[in-house]
């Protein structure tokens, strides 16, 4: 779809730099809610053959009509393949060895996350893309996951679950790549999340490569 159609469909990218005289975004949006996810993972200055493992799993539920965060999920995750964080990783993410030592392994994290999903589905009458079949009702509100690039769910979590023989939750097999949405809407390639914000005249607040901070920036 072209940028205009994508904007009407998603209703996710907003900018105060809308050209004078241009029509305001349509009031109706496809999604009543979006759940923003931004994982952090183990990393090394020279990774070699080592593969990233999730060490922070934050998510929020955003009401697209009000712009309000209505629910949050957050946990640190204990890496199993390479349990000792590199100095490079700690410096980059701010996540400490003590935080991951005391954290839950990925299988427990995913179980807790699915309990959170079930809770918000029941409380908010939310349906995700994978839930839409015939049982949907007029009261149900559509929700989708949003990430910055496909890396979080399509690469990091996908291959980590395969290596650890865990089933990646089916609900996490569909999401919106906000970087791709940005590129289509603005017709330019952003230089990372911070670069995208700078393009829009928005100052990056908080710590880069912190799941909690990056995730909150994504809901602006």
Active site residue 135: no
Active site residue 209: yes
Q: 3-state DSSP call for residue 167?
A: coil
Residues contacting residue 74 through CB under 8 Å, at least 6 positions apart: 56, 57, 58, 59, 211, 212
- Say which of 40, 53, 56, 160 is annotated catalytic: 40
- Say which of 53, 56, 160, 209 is annotated catalytic: 209
196 touches 190 (CB < 8 A): yes
Q: 3-state DSSP call for residue 4?
A: helix
In sequence order, what are the beta bridge partners of 69? 62
Q: What gap in Å lies between CA 187 and CA 178, rounded to an integer? A: 13
- The number of C-alpha atoms within 13 Å of 106 and in the hemisphere containing its C-beta is 26
Q: Would you give the distance in Å from CA 1 to the centre of its chain?
A: 22
Active-site positions? Answer: 40, 209
């Amino acid at each position: 779809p072209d940028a205009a159609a994508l904007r009407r469909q998603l209703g996710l990218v907003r900018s105060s730099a809308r050209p004078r005289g241009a029509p305001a975004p349509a009031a109706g949006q496809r999604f009543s809610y979006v759940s923003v996810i931004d994982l952090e993972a183990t990393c090394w200055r020279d990774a070699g053959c080592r593969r990233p493992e999730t060490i922070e799993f934050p998510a929020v539920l955003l009401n697209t009509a009000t712009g309000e965060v209505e629910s949050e999920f957050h946990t640190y995750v204990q890496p199993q393949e390479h349990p000792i964080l590199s100095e490079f990783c700690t410096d980059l993410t701010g996540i400490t060895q003590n935080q991951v030592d005391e954290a839950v392994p990925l299988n427990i994290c995913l179980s807790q996350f699915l309990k959170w999903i079930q809770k918000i589905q029941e409380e908010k009458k939310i349906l995700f893309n994978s839930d839409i079949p015939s049982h949907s009702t007029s009261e149900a509100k559509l929700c989708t996951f949003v990430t910055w690039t496909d890396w979080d769910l399509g690469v990091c979590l996908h291959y980590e679950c395969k290596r650890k023989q865990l089933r990646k939750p089916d609900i996490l097999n569909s999401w919106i790549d906000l970087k791709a949405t940005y590129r289509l809407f603005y017709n330019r390639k952003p230089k990372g999340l911070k670069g995208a914000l700078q393009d829009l005249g928005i100052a990056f607040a908080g710590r880069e490569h912190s799941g909690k901070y990056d995730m909150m920036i994504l809901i602006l």
